[in-house]
Amino acid sequence: MIAAVCGAAVAAGAGGPVQAAPARTASDDVVRNGTAGPLSWRATPSGTDARLRGLAAVSRSAAWAAGTKGIVLRTLDGGRHWRDVSPPGAGELEFRDIEAFDARHAVALSIGEGAASRVFRTEDGGATWTESFRNADPRAFYDCMTFFDRRNGIALSDPVDGKYRVLATHDGGREWRVLPSDGMPPARPGEAAFAASGQCLVSAGSRDAWIATGGAAASRVLHSADRGRTWTVAETPLPAGDPARGAFALAFRDRTHGIVVGGDYRAGQPSPKAAAVSRDAGATWSPSARPPAAYRSGVAWLPHTRTVALAVGPAGSDITVDGGRTWHGFDSGSYDTVDCAPDLGCWAAGEQGRIGRLALSAR
């Protein structure tokens, strides 16, 4: 439900086609030198003014984006051209998450109360879509989803009857069912997830998943080691105590090392301790010694590195080269979500149809 307050947003790319890499990219520079260098987001022409909170990086050439007005976009040429591949009749929906298995197969989630929460699936690059789930419970409000592999995934709803609701699929998103809530800890008063970037629910490996929460007296992270059947919970040092504050996005580079970002999404409001790190699968969280300067809604690890990650938000972007302990700003543009592909192609998306690809600035 926090999604409505917030702006009424994963593991993608695994198995995707890896294109020939340019001679030099920003992510290559970071990997080789362990430093940010002159990074920036290179804007690409999306052709829309929709707010794009769903993002799936397949490679340096291919990516998907999804957002308001029921829009889904896809590029196959590094962002030079984006094609509108939106599901027919979805114009009234708000897509906040999209997970892609490759350049042709993707699953998109729309958010909202009752029937506004839906899941769509495509096997042909968006030429056709199948609606595979429509929420029939007016108390449920689905925020985000994640996949462990091409077949197994889960989606998250805000609390129903005092507990977060988890939906599961075992066939790549063709069919979904609600999991039993016996293993889910009770939600706290006012607690919910933020559908700000498609990263309030993330996974790493074949069984581990995490949920970021806010809106209550403390921001929390829930962890499951069995694909969403049972969960443990831990508090984080991120801002809390208000419906606009909390943990907004998570990224785990493996089942042990994680980063959480968030803060207060209201413009001009301070967000101290806007990032924290975990080295024990989310059991405990330590505040970043030098966090981002403002609220951040999206975060992603750079693949094949142990210490490099990116964070984005409406007030700018940051990079860490020490595993999340210290963050350094590198771009002032507004972005809501970020994702990196296995071939080190990193993308960001946000308001007014903004989509950027990580690049080296002119020296």
Q: What is the pLDDT of residues 281-301, one digit of tens each?
A: 999 999 999 999 999 999 999
Question: Rounded distance, CA 12 to CA 14, Å?
Answer: 6
155 CB-side CA count, 13 A: 34
- Residues 105-142 as b/e (b if ≥16 CB within 10 A, e otherwise) read bbbbbbbbbeeebbbbbbeebbeebeebbebeeeebbb
**What's the pLDDT at 38?**
82
Strands 106-113, 72-75: pairing is unpaired
Q: How confident is the model at residue 361 (pLDDT cuts 50, 70, 90)?
A: low
pLDDT at 143 over 70: yes
Q: Is pLDDT above 60 for 27?
A: no
The residue-averaged pLDDT of 248-276 equals 97
Q: Please report, rounded to a whole number, the percentage of residues in the chain having pLDDT higher than 90.
A: 88
Q: In angstroms, rounded to a whole number, what is the distance separating the alpha carbons of residues 95 and 47?
A: 17
Q: Supply the pLDDT for residue 12.
A: 30
Q: What is the mean pLDDT of residues 335-352?
A: 97
pLDDT of 16 above 80:
no
> What pLDDT, on a 0 to 100 scale, did the predictor assign at position 30?
58
Is 80 exceeded by the pLDDT of residue 258? yes
Cα–Cα distance for residue pair 14/114, rounded to 1 Å: 31
pLDDT at 23: 41
% pLDDT > 70, the chain = 89
Average pLDDT (347-351) is 98
Question: With bands split at pLDDT 50, 70 and 90, how would you rate the model's confidence at 29?
Answer: low
